[in-house]
Amino acid sequence: MTATVGIIMGSQSDWDTMRHAAELLDELGIAHEAKIVSAHRTPQRLYDYATGAKDRGLKVIIAGAGGAAHLPGMAASMTPLPVLGVPVQSKALSGLDSLLSIVQMPAGIPVGTLAIGQAGAKNAALLAAAMLAPYDTELGHRLDAFRAKQTDAIAETPQ
């Protein structure tokens, strides 16, 4: 099946965070791909990925990076597709560096920035699903079911 969501990350070390986006996309039945694409270590790979993404059929890109996290912004600059940025929790500054690098885009090229770490990766997948659902009725039903199940799982009384 052709991927509709592309997950990219700056390093293998980001996968432990970004796999949570992939797992949620799997759960929601959204075709996706995951690639290591570094803005500074593999700039040509980033250029090729971002400039070719729309023609390959991708609809949304989720980009995770840590530290000086320019990957989401650089990707967004080279594609008309929406880019969701996930700040990976860094060792030195616990992801605050990643967050500020990703969220503080100057006006003109947006990156939809999520929370630091695992929560951000999961929510990026859910936000991608919400962006695609208005054009895919079945996916909309699956997203509704996901939310209903989540609601049902919350006990009213703490144990």
Question: Which positions lie near ligand RP5, rule CB under 6 A?
Answer: 10-11, 13-14, 38, 65-67, 88
Q: Is 144 annotated as a binding residue?
A: no
Residue 94 is labelled as binding a ligand = no
101 marked among binding-site residues: no
Write down the least CB distance from residue 26 to ligand RP5, Å.
22
Ranges of beta strands (E only) in 25-147 are: 32-36, 60-66, 83-88, 112-113
> Considering the complex, what minimum distance in angstroms separates the CB of residue 82 from ligand RP5?
20
* Smaller CB separation from ligand RP5, 14 or 112: 14
Nearer to ligand RP5, 65 or 129 (CB): 65
Helix axes 137-152, 118-132, angle to 10 degrees: 140
**Cβ closer to ligand RP5: 70 or 122?**
70
Positive or negative, the Cα torsion across 148, 132, 34, 72? negative
Closest CA to 78 of 114, 37, 113: 37
Distance of closest approach, residue 9 Cβ to ligand RP5, in angstroms: 6
What are residue 87's phi and psi, to 5 degrees?
A: -75, 115
Nearer to ligand RP5 by Cβ, of 9 and 133: the residue is 9
* Residue 84 phi, psi (nearest 5): -105, 125
> At how many degrees (to 10) do helices 15-27 and 118-132 cross?
30
Q: Name the minimum Å distance from CB 3 to ligand RP5.
A: 21
What are the binding residues? 11, 14, 41
Which residues are known binding-site members for substrate? 11, 14, 41
